[in-house]
């Protein structure tokens, strides 16, 4: 590892954990957090949760697990380039999607709608809830008892109303201060990862085409470069060569612009970073190109009629599961029944949010199809 910048997060100077624990003898605090995340139940479930394509649609598409690994890989690379703490970025990246519902955004929107009168549902807050409360594996505490820095990185956005209930990690949304640079860059790594793998998966599934994408500058420029260098390249390699150049364009720009911002502001410590505006960002030109790419994906992939059909089905499953459990909490597994006595809607939301795509489909079938047994 490169020497750390003075403004990098430092595990030895961590703000600490919710419950005091003796330090590990072999790992720094952020490495220990990463290990706890990898060993969690919610992490294993990421394998069967998806963002755009539902899990059973094909084995070649990204799942939230492979997405999280791609984010961790990019975040570590960016952290290393900027002399920031790689282990912290890795822990944040691996945990960032733990709170996602089954069926990607369709599932989350449906659950949020069901929870409208009960405080709503937000996957980002739910990720925090998973690591603070829902994982029940340790003798002395609920959750994973992660360091403040990892929990801060997981909570990317938050309303003031919610922030007031979250204690230490909510405070920055009230004070309008910044999180660590490691948290900032991991957020960008997430965005770079999903935009590019959605292009790759979108092309493979045939929902979008190279011709359509040729109208998007970021794609077109890199495609032209590959075609000039390799005029006879077959399609599969052509796509990969283009997408990897796009990722490189974005990552290099992010590192260059962020290093420039840091050099201008001259932060001396992580305390300075918290007081400054966010220093990790793209150049104006790449930010604009990236925005166009996102618009393209929203219009042509996320709202493709075939995706809409799956989303509608997914939303229906979530809504019906919510209604049936809400109506009769006796249908919930025992531990959720106990919690339902304290907070019924939240217990139902937690149970549904924890489901994988296929588990939700099976659970729905068990509850609504007469032929299915327990
Ligand atoms: Mg993500």
Ligand 1 centre from 268 Cα, in Å?
Answer: 30
Cα 258 to ligand 1 centre (Å):
21
* Å from CA of 281 to ligand 1 middle: 17
Closest by CA position to 158, among listed 125, 191, 126: 125
Which parts of the chain register pLDDT below 50?
none
35 contact partners, CB below 8 Å, separation of at least 6: 27
Q: Tell me the pLDDT of the chain averaged across its residues.
A: 94
Give distance in angstroms: CA of 22 to centre of ligand 1: 32
DSSP code of residue 42:
H
Region of residue 50 (left: phi > 0; alpha: psi -120 to 50; beta: else): beta
Report how far ligand 1's centroid is from the alpha carbon of 329 (Å).
Answer: 31
CA atoms within 13 A on the CB side of 331: 17
Q: What single string gives the DSSP state of each residue in 73-138?
A: HHHHHHHHHTT--HHHHHHHHHHTTTTPPTTHHHHHHHHHHHTGGGT---HHHHHHHIIIII----
> What pLDDT shows up at residue 55?
56
Distance 316 CA to ligand 1 centre (A): 24
CA of 374 to the centre of ligand 1 (A): 34
| pLDDT for 2 | 65
What pLDDT shows up at residue 307?
87
Ligand 1 centroid from CA 96, angstroms: 6
**DSSP string across 300-360:** IIIT-HHHHHHHHHHHHHHHHHHHHHHH-GGGS-HHHHHHHTT-HHHHHHHHHHT--HHHH
d(CA 195, CA 243): 10
Q: How far is CA 218 from CA 13, 74, 214, in A?
A: 40, 19, 9
- Between the CA of 346 and the centroid of ligand 1 the distance, in Å, is 23
pLDDT confidence of residue 111: 97
Q: How far is the CA of 206 from the centre of ligand 1 (A)?
A: 23
State the DSSP code for 278.
P
Tens digit of each residue's pLDDT (9 = 90 or more) over 85-108: 999 999 999 999 999 999 988 999
CA distance 126 to 309: 26
Say how far apart CA 271 and CA 344 lie, in whole Å: 41
Tokens 């860059």 belong to which residue? 185
Task: Give 100 Cα–ligand 1 centroid separation in angstroms.
Answer: 9
The pocket of ion ligand 1, defined by CB under 5 A, consists of 97, 190
> How far apart are the C-alpha atoms of 82 and 104, rounded to whole Å?
32
Distance of CA 130 to the CA centre of its chain: 13
Confidence at residue 204, expressed as pLDDT on a 0 to 100 scale: 87
Residue 53: predicted pLDDT: 66
- Give per-residue pLDDT as tens, 163-220: 999 989 999 999 999 999 999 999 999 999 999 999 998 998 889 999 999 999 999 9
Tokens, residue 12: 């030895």
Q: What is the SS3 assignment for 307?
A: helix
- CA quadruple 253, 290, 87, 103: dihedral, nearest 10: -170
Locus of tokens 């070649």: 60
Domains of the chain are 28-308 (1.10.3210.10), 312-373 (no CATH)
pLDDT value of residue 372: 64
Cβ contact 162:125 at 8 Å: yes
């Amino acid at each position: 590892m490169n020497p750390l910048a003075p403004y990098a997060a430092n595990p030895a100077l961590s703000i600490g954990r919710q419950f005091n624990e003796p330090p590990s003898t072999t790992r720094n605090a952020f490495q220990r957090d990463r290990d706890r995340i990898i060993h969690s139940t919610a992490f294993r479930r990421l394998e069967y949760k998806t963002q755009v394509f539902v899990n059973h649609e094909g084995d070649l598409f990204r799942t939230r697990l492979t997405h999280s690994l791609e984010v961790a890989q990019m975040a570590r690379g960016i952290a290393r380039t900027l002399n920031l703490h790689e282990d912290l970025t890795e822990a944040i990246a691996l945990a960032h999607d733990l709170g996602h519902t089954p069926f990607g955004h369709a599932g989350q929107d449906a659950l949020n709608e069901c929870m409208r009168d009960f405080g709503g549902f937000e996957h980002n807050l739910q990720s925090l809830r998973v690591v603070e409360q829902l994982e029940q594996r340790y003798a002395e505490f609920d959750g994973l008892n992660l360091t403040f820095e990892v929990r801060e990185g997981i909570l990317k956005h938050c309303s003031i109303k919610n922030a007031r209930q979250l204690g230490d990690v909510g405070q920055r949304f009230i004070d309008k201060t910044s999180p660590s640079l490691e948290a900032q860059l991991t957020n960008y790594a997430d965005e770079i990862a999903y935009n590019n793998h959605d292009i790759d998966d979108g092309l493979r599934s045939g929902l979008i085409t190279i011709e359509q994408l040729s109208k998007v500058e970021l794609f077109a420029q890199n495609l032209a470069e590959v075609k000039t260098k390799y005029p006879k390249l077959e399609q599969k390699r052509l796509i990969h060569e283009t997408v990897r150049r796009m990722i490189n364009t974005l990552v290099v720009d992010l590192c260059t612009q962020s290093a420039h911002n840091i050099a201008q502001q001259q932060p001396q410590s992580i305390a300075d970073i918290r007081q400054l505006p966010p220093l990790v960002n793209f150049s104006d030109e790449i930010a604009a190109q990236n925005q166009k790419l996102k618009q393209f994906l929203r219009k042509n992939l996320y709202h493709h009629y075939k995706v809409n059909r799956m989303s509608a089905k997914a939303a229906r499953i979530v809504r019906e599961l919510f209604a049936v459990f809400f109506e009769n909490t006796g249908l919930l597994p025992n531990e959720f029944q106990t919690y339902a006595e304290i907070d019924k809607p939240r217990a139902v939301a937690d149970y549904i949010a924890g489901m994988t795509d296929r588990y939700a489909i099976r659970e729905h079938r068990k509850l609504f199809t007469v032929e299915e047994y327990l």
